[in-house]
A and B are shown apart, each in its own frame.
Chain A
Amino acid sequence: AQKITQTQPGMFVQEKEAVTLDCTYDTSDPSYGLFWYKQPSSGEMIFLIYQGSYDQQNATEGRYSLNFQKARKSANLVISASQLGDSAMYFCAMRPGAAGGTSYGKLTFGQGTILTVHP
């Protein structure tokens, strides 16, 4: 079974500053995928960034980067140069197995972290 833990119920950051949202995971699968999603108050879940368990380099997508530490089973999201529009709920999620494999792509989500960006 997979488990995702997000220990920060809420985080505050000043506009233009960087912020790190924590995520730890637990799985017995040798391969897996890790995802971060943003959920504004409207409810839609927006994909931000993906990290495969065998990827050697940390993933980056624009202002988002994923600090992947496999031995510590952590996959923290770093948002650089925060903007007011970044205020939202952020979810870390995990999918068992490798992409293109036979394992079905069930996502297990954490409880989420509410990020508030102050002007």
Chain B
Amino acid sequence: ETGVTQSPTHLIKTRGQQVTLRCSSQSGHNTVSWYQQALGQGPQFIFQYYREEENGRGNFPPRFSGLQFPNYSSELNVNALELDDSALYLCASSDPAGESDTQYFGPGTRLTVL
């Protein structure tokens, strides 16, 4: 069984640029959630995709957008990067029909905005 994978591992961008982060869900999972984790903090929910539709969004501006594909992989796009966007971005996949709806996380993408 393949776990959640994310790419790239690390990324350095400059303020004002755009970035796309990618996530492949675990086999059998149709839901992907994205989180932002600033240094020393707990992860903050960005949004969730269920069967290619956005299924909830946290307190993040519209320049954070996403997409889910028919194979349930997902992308997180951030436009007009700001210095405060520097963080670890975590993707998690889950099966809401499962007994616990546990979210399994990928290794994360560490984004640095200069």
Contact = CB atoms under 8 A, between A and B. Distances in A.
Interface of A: 4, 33, 35, 37, 42-47, 50, 52, 91, 93, 95, 99-101, 104-112
B105 A111 contact: no
Interface residues on B, range: 20 to 34
B65 interface: no
A52 B58 CA distance: 23
Interface of B: 31, 33, 35, 41-45, 48, 50, 55-56, 58, 88, 90, 92, 94, 96-108, 110
Contact of A44 (B33, B99, B108): B108
Contacts of B108: 43-45
Contact of B100 (A52, A91, A104): A52
12 contacts: A44-B105, A45-B92, A45-B108, A46-B105, A52-B100, A91-B42, A100-B98, A105-B48, A106-B56, A107-B92, A109-B42, A109-B43
